[in-house]
């Protein structure tokens, strides 16, 4: 089964393949071209139409690969994504392949900079040893930069090695389908070429893993009868020359390939265009709001009653083809999202008693982003939010993350059946970012003086203190919102991480949805291949696509100050994903944090800037593999309500805010 999919193999022979483009890495220009190989021999190798035939064990591997990029002079990178029907494994009902909607992917000009890297050998490697140095794992990432690292990730644009770590897919169906996962330690750079090289890996018996036939032939300077391999033959010779210039000889390579990342414009262009148009339509104070419900003394029978809960809708510019879940972005003739008219989004606003007594005064406005598939109203109406609002004299306002709210649950689940449906989630998340911008601007602006938000002629909202905080999903998506929000200069990301496909396999929250995924994609190797494909679309709206620009700025987007607070051993958002996000955004560790992370500087509080803090609530350690814990100690949900966390947030979300460390020694709220 050369292609790796049932009934998807093709007879060898015939013309075809991708048009050849000379991907000559910059490193080769100084190293010289690959030596000329003089041979007329053509090696017959296993290959399948539409597959990445450097590895015949599974159609789509190795991945990501330039096999699925084609030349396009109209894009920033000069490339365009060009997945084949054969690349997409069909689900158990035969949906996939020819029926897959490739249009959202063809809008991109490269691979995701937030990708993980996958390949497979005919048997698993023993990752505790190699014929060279130590195999880099999550606890020895720095070893990946050593000259004798068995795995190499090389930035071909700069010639620098890229830190990473390696693991096996612990969910594999069997040894022959065990995917080798290579995780970059942080986000890659947009519009850069990268090489992956693997050498010196051995199996459990200490026997070296064999290169696959097509790759071995090209490595040894021989031609093959695989059209897609031959279309890249010269490119592969240039790749070997680049690797040799970086100290990685071609002899002994078990696998090597290259890929090119997408441009900043391709990843951020849609949302930035929507933002520019929406700001013009919103004006400096928003469009308006309608109050539908006022509840004085809300929660009067609890320990932390409010002065008032206000609910209603606010007006947003809409760019969706139609309201509601399961819709796509409307696009104009230029291909960018197009304004469709005004729409109404729900809001819930809390006014604490501490802003009214002993006399009314204005407090800061905090927009909050809710967690996984929840809703704004339910989240902020809880006892915990009423307590925090009152304690910190803060007006809290929330809306839904449309695209990943309770109303979108069925659409999200449908993407686990037919991955073509995933674009309905990510398109709608674009609209969600516009809604959150409108939320803050409206209630710090045109609706600030509503009678419901005023006591004795005093507005309870201070328009000079506008902030954002998001928890879990709200922290994951909140990094993007902070990057594009024109009115928020600093924000807090709680129990956050980045790269959803990486996060969910390690999250206990995904367990209820995983049976759906398994039912429609019974082969684990198919699930392992299709899930990271989604990162292409996640990049547009989750923080993975925006991290470097969050704290450094991007063109019209100024840099922001960000405080990330996570729970040690979080079983819902893995600390590995939080570390990855912190490295991507360049957040420093705050001295006293309960967890250190490779590659981050450490700073001493108090100081004015961004920071990354881990609090230890006593949660047990989850598995170290790409599997979820079967227990939930719930530090993920309770961390935000510890005194340490509240003090951190309160000190940070101020005009003169600073990063503090409210603990003596290692920060343990108990």
Whether 249 and 270 map to the same domain: the answer is: no
| Residue 287, both tokens | 């469009």
Whether 258 and 269 map to the same domain: the answer is: no
Whether 221 and 363 map to the same domain: the answer is: no
Ranges 5-9, 246-250, 436-440, 448-452: which has the least confidence: 5-9
Q: Mean pLDDT, the chain, as a whole number? A: 93
Q: Residues 375-397: what's their mean pLDDT?
A: 96
Q: Residues 406-412: what's their mean pLDDT?
A: 96
Residue 629, pLDDT score = 98
Whether 374 and 333 map to the same domain: the answer is: yes
Looking at residue 232, which CATH number applies to its domain? 2.60.40.1220
Last residue of a domain, one of 237, 262, 287: 262
Domain of 194? 26-58+112-262
Flag whether 275 is in a domain: yes
Whether 234 and 122 map to the same domain: the answer is: yes
Whether 197 and 328 map to the same domain: the answer is: no
Whether 357 and 233 map to the same domain: the answer is: no
Spatial separation of the C-alpha atoms in residues 132 and 144, rounded to whole Å: 12
pLDDT band, very low/low/confident/very high, at 281 (cuts 50, 70, 90): very high
Nearest to 364 by CA among 227, 277, 489: 489
Whether 18 shows a pLDDT value over 50: the answer reads: no
Last residue of a domain, one of 468, 499, 522: 468
pLDDT tens readout for residues 475-503: 999 999 999 999 999 999 999 999 999 99
Q: Residues 258-263: what's their mean pLDDT?
A: 98
Flag whether 337 is in a domain: yes
pLDDT band, very low/low/confident/very high, at 12 (cuts 50, 70, 90): very low
Flag whether 9 is in a domain: no
Spatial separation of the C-alpha atoms in residues 624 and 430, rounded to whole Å: 33
Count of CA atoms in the C-beta half-sphere (13 A) of 501: 24
Whether 258 and 277 map to the same domain: the answer is: no
Whether 27 shows a pLDDT value over 50: the answer reads: no
Flag whether 625 is in a domain: no
Number of domains in the chain: 2
Whether 123 and 246 map to the same domain: the answer is: yes
Flag whether 239 is in a domain: yes
Whether 161 and 48 map to the same domain: the answer is: yes
Spatial separation of the C-alpha atoms in residues 484 and 150, rounded to whole Å: 40
Whether 378 and 431 map to the same domain: the answer is: yes
Residue 15, pLDDT score = 31
Flag whether 587 is in a domain: no
Residue 14, pLDDT score = 31
Flag whether 642 is in a domain: no
| Residue 53, both tokens | 């035939």
Q: What percent of the chain has pLDDT over 90?
A: 91
pLDDT band, very low/low/confident/very high, at 41 (cuts 50, 70, 90): confident
Strand partners, 343: 316
Mark 520-552 as b/e (b = at least 16 C-beta within 10 Å): bbebbbbbbbbbbbbbbbbbbbbbbbbbbbbbe
Count of CA atoms in the C-beta half-sphere (13 A) of 377: 12
Last residue of a domain, one of 468, 503, 525: 468
Is the peptide bond prior to 182 cis by the omega test (within 30 degrees of 0)? no
Flag whether 122 is in a domain: yes
Residue 21, pLDDT score = 36
Whether 45 shows a pLDDT value over 90: the answer reads: yes
Spatial separation of the C-alpha atoms in residues 331 and 319, rounded to whole Å: 8
Whether 642 shows a pLDDT value over 50: the answer reads: yes
Alpha-carbon dihedral sign for residues 668, 496, 490, 390? negative
Q: What percent of the chain has pLDDT over 70?
A: 93
Whether 368 and 438 map to the same domain: the answer is: yes
pLDDT tens readout for residues 187-243: 999 999 999 999 999 999 999 999 999 999 999 999 999 999 999 999 999 999 999
């Amino acid at each position: 089964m050369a292609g790796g999919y049932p009934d998807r193999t093709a007879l060898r022979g015939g013309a075809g393949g991708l048009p050849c483009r000379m991907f000559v890495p910059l490193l080769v220009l100084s190293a010289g071209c690959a030596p000329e190989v003089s041979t007329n021999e053509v090696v017959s190798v296993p290959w399948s139409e539409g597959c990445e035939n450097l590895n015949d064990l599974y159609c789509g591997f190795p991945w990501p690969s330039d096999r699925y990029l084609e030349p396009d002079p109209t894009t920033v990178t000069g490339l365009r994504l060009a997945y084949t029907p054969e690349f997409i494994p069909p689900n158990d009902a035969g949906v996939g392949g020819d029926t897959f909607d490739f249009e959202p992917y063809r809008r991109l000009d490269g691979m995701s900079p937030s990708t993980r890297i996958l390949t497979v050998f005919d048997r698993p490697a023993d990752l505790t040893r190699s014929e060279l140095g130590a195999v880099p794992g999550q606890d020895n990432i720095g070893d990946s930069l050593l000259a004798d690292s068995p795995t190499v990730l090389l930035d071909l644009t700069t010639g620098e090695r890229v830190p990473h770590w390696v693991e096996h897919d612990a969910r594999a169906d069997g040894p022959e389908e065990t995917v080798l996962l290579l995780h970059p330690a942080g986000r890659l750079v947009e519009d850069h070429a990268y090489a992956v090289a693997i050498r010196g890996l051995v199996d459990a018996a200490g026997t070296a893993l064999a290169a696959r036939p097509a790759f071995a032939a090209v490595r040894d300077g021989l031609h093959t009868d695989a059209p897609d391999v031959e279309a890249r033959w010269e490119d592969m010779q240039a790749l070997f020359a680049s690797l040799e210039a970086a100290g990685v000889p071609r002899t002994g390579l078990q696998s090597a390939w290259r890929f090119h990342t997408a441009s900043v414009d391709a990843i951020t262009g849609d949302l930035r265009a929507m933002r520019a148009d929406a700001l013009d339509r919103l004006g400096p104070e928003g469009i308006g709001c309608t109050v539908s419900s006022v509840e004085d003394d809300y929660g009067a029978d609890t320990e932390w009653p409010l002065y008032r809960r206000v609910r209603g809708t606010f007006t947003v510019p809409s760019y969706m083809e139609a309201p509601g879940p399961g819709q796509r972005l409307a696009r104009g003739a230029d291909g960018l999202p197009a304004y469709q008219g005004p729409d109404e989004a729900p809001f819930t606003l809390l006014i604490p008693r501490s802003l009214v007594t002993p006399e009314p005064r204005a407090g800061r406005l905090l927009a909050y982003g809710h967690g996984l598939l929840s809703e704004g109203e339910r989240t902020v109406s809880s006892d915990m939010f009423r307590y925090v609002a009152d304690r910190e004299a803060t007006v809290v306002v929330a809306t839904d993350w449309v695209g990943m709210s309770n109303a979108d649950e069925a659409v999200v689940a449908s993407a686990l059946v037919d991955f073509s449906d995933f674009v309905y989630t990510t398109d709608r998340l674009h609209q969600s970012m516009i809604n959150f911008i409108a939320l803050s601007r409206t209630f710090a602006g045109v609706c600030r003086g509503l009678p419901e938000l005023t006591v004795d002629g005093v507005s309870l909202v201070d328009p000079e203190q506008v902030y954002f905080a998001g928890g879990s999903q709200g922290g994951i998506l909140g990094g993007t919102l902070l990057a594009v929000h024109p009115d928020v200069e600093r924000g807090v990301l709680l129990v956050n991480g980045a790269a959803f496909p990486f996060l969910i396999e390690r999250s206990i929250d995904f367990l209820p949805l995983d049976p759906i995924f398994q039912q429609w994609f019974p082969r684990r190797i198919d699930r392992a291949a299709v899930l990271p494909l989604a990162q292409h679309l996640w990049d547009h709206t989750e923080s993975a696509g925006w991290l470097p620009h969050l704290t450094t700025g991007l063109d019209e987007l100024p840099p922001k100050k960000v405080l990330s607070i996570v729970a040690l051993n979080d079983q819902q958002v893995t600390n590995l994903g939080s570390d990855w996000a912190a490295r991507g955004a360049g957040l420093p560790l705050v001295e006293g944090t309960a967890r250190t992370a490779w590659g981050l500087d450490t700073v001493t509080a108090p100081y004015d800037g961004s920071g990354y803090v881990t609090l230890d609530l006593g949660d047990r350690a989850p598995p170290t593999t790409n599997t979820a814990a079967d227990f939930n100690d719930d530090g993920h949900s309770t961390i935000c309500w510890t005194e340490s966390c509240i003090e951190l947030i309160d000190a940070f979300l101020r005009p003169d805010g600073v990063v503090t460390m409210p603990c003596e020694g290692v920060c343990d709220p108990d």
